[in-house]
Amino acid sequence: MGASPLHQFITRFEAVGELSRISVPVDTLLEIAAITDRICKQPDGGSALLFEHPHGSAFPVVTNLFGSEQRVCQALGITGPDELTIRLSALLEEIPVLDINTLDRQIAALPEFNRFAPHPDKKPDPMLVSMNQPDLTRFPFLQSWPDDGSADNHPRYMTLAQVITADPDGGTPNCGVYRIQLRGKTEAAIQWKPGSGAARHAELHLRMDKKMPVAIVLGSAPATLFSAMFPLPGELDELTFAGYLQNAPVATVPCLSVPLRVPTGAEVVIEGFVEQSETVTEGPFGNHTGFYAPAAPAPLMRVTAISHRLDAIIPATVVGAPPMEDCWMMLAWERLLLALLRKVIPLIHDIHFPHEWVFHQSAVISLENPRPGMVRNISGQLWALPWFRSARVLLFVSAAEAGDLPNVLWKSINMTSFSEDVFHDTASERIAIDATGWREHRPKVKMSSEYAALVACRWKEYMLP
């Protein structure tokens, strides 16, 4: 049996000391999550974790697979995150006048992009075997936090699943990452967000009184997972974008029981139908805020087929108070978003999502040559973009002052007039802070270069570490 993309990356990470194997039996209820959470809190994101013997399942679990900058770069085939900015910037240069309202269609029309459209294979993935009787409970899906799923007593979730849907006519396919609650052998609740691609498709099926086909993919090439996670503009096809990221089209294969196509190389493919009018209570669910998202109605998926590799490994992630794996994964989106922002607002020099802010669309943004009124104008432009409509805080600094986050925070508290440089959007709870220091004319404290050089020369004499 050939190695799948997930197996290949596990082997690669282990070869460079980036993977830890846990060979003792561990519980999928809370124990794996507790181990993963502790590892994720290490300064560099910790190692990937392969749990070889989870209780109650023959399939191993891997967590924190992309929980460091180094592993994110290896997964996307780049030497550094800035390569993503450079590459997407070059692509966007082919668009003469960018229109944010039709950006998805503008990008899709570019020959350099659409040459990465998925490559359809006619036959199902030969590495997958079909279960005679579909049974989700055979897989080691995790409970991460004590109250997860407590409203209906269903605590286990799929957390790195790619959910594939399409229009009623099979067009405009969408691949997104949504949390999925295990509710039995052949039932699962999918909590997709309002306005997401899957939610749009569900509404169209509901209007036509049709049940919606759904395919859930666990595993496959990392680029497909990253693309599914990213908030891409409009209806830009995620699988084409995945091909663009990995510089090769994604091969897709037909499902067994639903009229959808999924990427090859999956560990597990789960197929079924959703009727938008049939909902169950999903949650609570411990999420990236460090608090529980409350229980809420979610569409119920009825499973019609499951296929899997005989040696399948189940990818999972644990979300909670940062830093966690998803913070590192979103570093890739930060670098791609910078290319988009520079095309829309050329005065933007850089953007940084602090781990503690990233999932509230809040950011530190540095500007070239800040001037009076610039922050008020640019913050208004950013709030109009889909990626910042719910941003709680936008902190603006000068490009000359941008640096590590402690330095930015120190300068922002000292360089801001909170009576004049804080702009509150009256239509929401969001604010922009002008910490560029454009009005500051006081001389800065700076160490004498003469004595800095002297101290450097005599450092060993001082016998200090």
DSSP 9-64: HHHHHHHTT-EEEE-S-B-TBTHHHHHHHHHHTSTT---EEEES-BTT-SS-EEES
> For residues 283 and 261, what is the distance between their CA atoms, to the nearest angstrom?
29
Identity of the residue numbered 126: P
Q: Which fold has domain 345-434?
A: UbiD C-terminal domain-like (3.40.1670)
Q: Which positions ≥6 away from 263 have C-beta within 8 Å? A: 118, 162, 217, 220, 221, 224, 239, 242, 250, 251, 252, 253
Q: Which fold has domain 5-315?
A: Pnp Oxidase; Chain A (2.30.110)
Q: Which positions ≥6 away from 43 have C-beta within 8 Å? A: none
Instruction: Name which of 229, 211, 213 is nearest 164 in CA terms.
Output: 213
Count H helices and E strands in the chain, helices first.
13, 23
Instruction: Count Cα atoms within 13 angstroms, Cβ side, for 245.
Output: 27
Q: How far apart are the first and last CA of the chain?
A: 54
The alpha carbon torsion through 411, 415, 417, 422 (nearest 10 deg) reads -50
Task: Give the pairing type, strands 19-22 and 48-51.
Answer: parallel
Segments making up each domain of the chain, as ranges: 5-315, 345-434
pLDDT tens for the chain, 465 residues: list them.
678 999 999 999 999 999 999 999 999 999 999 999 999 999 899 999 999 999 999 999 999 999 999 999 999 999 999 999 999 999 999 999 999 999 999 999 999 999 999 999 988 899 999 999 999 999 999 999 999 999 999 999 999 999 999 999 999 999 999 999 999 999 999 999 888 999 999 999 999 999 999 999 999 999 999 999 999 999 999 999 999 999 999 999 999 999 999 999 999 999 999 987 899 999 999 998 888 999 999 999 999 999 999 999 999 999 998 999 999 999 999 999 999 999 999 999 999 998 887 677 889 999 988 888 899 999 999 999 999 988 889 999 888 666 667 777 777 777 777 777 888 877 777 888 888 877 666 666 677 889 889 989 988 998 887
Instruction: Count Cα atoms within 13 angstroms, Cβ side, for 284.
Output: 11
| DSSP three-state, residue 349 | strand
Q: How many other C-beta atoms lie within 10 A of the C-beta of residue 421?
A: 20
Among left, alpha and beta (phi > 0; psi -120 to 50; other), residue 206 is: alpha
> For residues 154 and 298, what is the distance between their CA atoms, to the nearest angstrom?
13
In three-state form (DSSP H/G/I as H, E/B as E, the rest C), the secondary structure along 177-229 is: ECEEEECCCCEEEEECCCCCHHHHHHHHHHHCCCCEEEEEEEECCHHHHHHHH
> For residues 364 and 396, what is the distance between their CA atoms, to the nearest angstrom?
6
